[in-house]
Amino acid sequence: MRRPGDRPPAVPVLTEFLQQLINGLSLGAVYALLALGYTMVYGILRFINFAHSDVFMVGAFAGYYAARPFTIGFAGTGPALRVNLGIGTHSVSGGLLALLLSMAICALLGIVIERLAYRPLRQRSKLTVLITAIGVSLLLESAGQLVFGADPKPFPELFPVREFSGGGLNVSSNQLLVIGVSALLLIGLQFIVLKTKMGTAMRAVSFNHQAASLVGINNDRVISFTFGLGSALAAAGGILYAMNYPSIEPYMGILPGLKAFVAAVLGGIGNIPGAALGGVLLGLIETFVNGSHYSTYTDAIAFAVLILILLFRPAGLLGKVVVEKV
């Protein structure tokens, strides 16, 4: 996610367009991963999991700590969490292991959050759950500040970085990696949701809780699974996001989280392909705005998109209009 200033000046329009397209896709891929978690939880429980953006942050930190033993410059300063995966410095397999480890940690975190904070509130009003979610989000942020420290930390090179340039285009291997890994995860998710028994159960629960439990589906288990799955994707998103940004800190999740939620609404909340589409679209829009004269308004664009979509197509691009029955 190259800042406009990094580009060589006076590039032809088409090249610039392609460059921004790639930048936008790699940002959009992260939004898509994060948006999936929002959309799956919303689809099943009908509430915004505010803590999701902080799971994303924890994912990035898990990657940071997992990577420490095999990054350069680590001199065994802190014995606190020394995970030695026994793999050489920033190799592809090491990076993938760190990614998987972080996804596993966050999946567990997501399941624990759901179990402790949200499950006891299942029968309560949506507002209560929403406020609890805000509380969990604040707790993760402030606990993160205590545990990880408030100062921004440089994210290690998980994967070997290579720059490809040609014809005025500058693409780093990280950007391609982000797009590739996200695409793989999306395909994997689509497979889980459409082809496996658990995926079928997830869809059933999102249609109707009661009917699902009548046909023998354990709702609680499905919900736990959904949280785990969404949180694992958020962790992957966190690492992929951190790879293209210089540093990570405990509050890093707030803005990407909000934007990813906007992406989920843009695609139609509750709709999995919609979330992916919304994420990519939002990433592209933001990158193109960032490359234009209005770059200082980048952070506001997502919310402008949100307000427009809610005004003109509240169900989102791929969502179905649901008539409220009394």
Partner 1 sequence: MNGSGPNLSRASDWTAWPKILLLASLGAAALLGCFSGAIDRYYAGVLTKVGINIILAVSLNLVNGYTGQFSLGHAGFMGVGAYTSAAITLFVGPEILPAGGAAHYAWAAYGLFGGALLAGGLTAALAGLVVGAPSLRLKGDYLAIVTLGFGEIIRVIFCNIKSLGGGLGLNGIPPYTTLFWVFATAVVCTYVVVTMVHSTYGRGFIAVQDDEVAAEAMGLNTTRYKIVAFVVGAFFAGIAGGLYGHDTLSIDPKGFGFMHSIDIVVMVILGGMGNTPGVIAAAVVLTLLPEWLRPVAEYRMVLYSFLLIVLMLTRPQGLFAWRRKSRQFQA
Pick between residue 113 and residue 205 the one whose CB is nearest to partner 1.
Answer: 113
* Binding-residue total with partner 1 (CB under 8 A): 43
How far, in Å, CA of 159 to CA of 181, rounded? 12
Query: Is there binding between residue 229 and partner 1 (CB under 8 A)?
Result: no
Query: Is there binding between residue 292 and partner 1 (CB under 8 A)?
Result: no
Spell out, one character per residue from 237 to 276, where the chain touches partner 1: x when CB under 8 A holds, - when not. -----------------x---x--xx--x-----------
Q: Mark the segment that binds partner 1 (CB under 8 A) among 3-11, 169-177, 192-200, 293-301.
A: 293-301
Pick between residue 81 and residue 300 the one whose CB is nearest to partner 1.
Answer: 300
Query: Is there binding between residue 135 and partner 1 (CB under 8 A)?
Result: yes
Q: Mark the segment that binds partner 1 (CB under 8 A) among 68-76, 123-131, 198-206, 215-223.
A: 123-131
Spell out, one character per residue from 166 to 185, where the chain touches partner 1: x when CB under 8 A holds, - when not. --------------------
Query: Is there binding between residue 326 and partner 1 (CB under 8 A)?
Result: yes
Of the residues 132, 182, 206, 231, which one makes contact with partner 1 according to CB under 8 A: 132
CB 129 within 8 A of CB 118: yes
Pick between residue 124 and residue 162 the one whose CB is nearest to partner 1.
Answer: 124
Of the residues 31, 103, 306, 319, which one makes contact with partner 1 according to CB under 8 A: 306
Pick between residue 204 and residue 315 the one whose CB is nearest to partner 1.
Answer: 315
For the chain, how far is it from start to end, CA to CA, in angstroms?
A: 47
Query: Is there binding between residue 136 and partner 1 (CB under 8 A)?
Result: yes
Query: Is there binding between residue 3 and partner 1 (CB under 8 A)?
Result: no
Q: Note the residues at the interface with partner 1 (CB under 8 A).
A: 47-48, 117, 120-121, 124-128, 130-132, 134-139, 141-143, 145-146, 254, 258, 261-262, 265, 296-297, 299-300, 302-304, 306-307, 310-311, 314, 324, 326
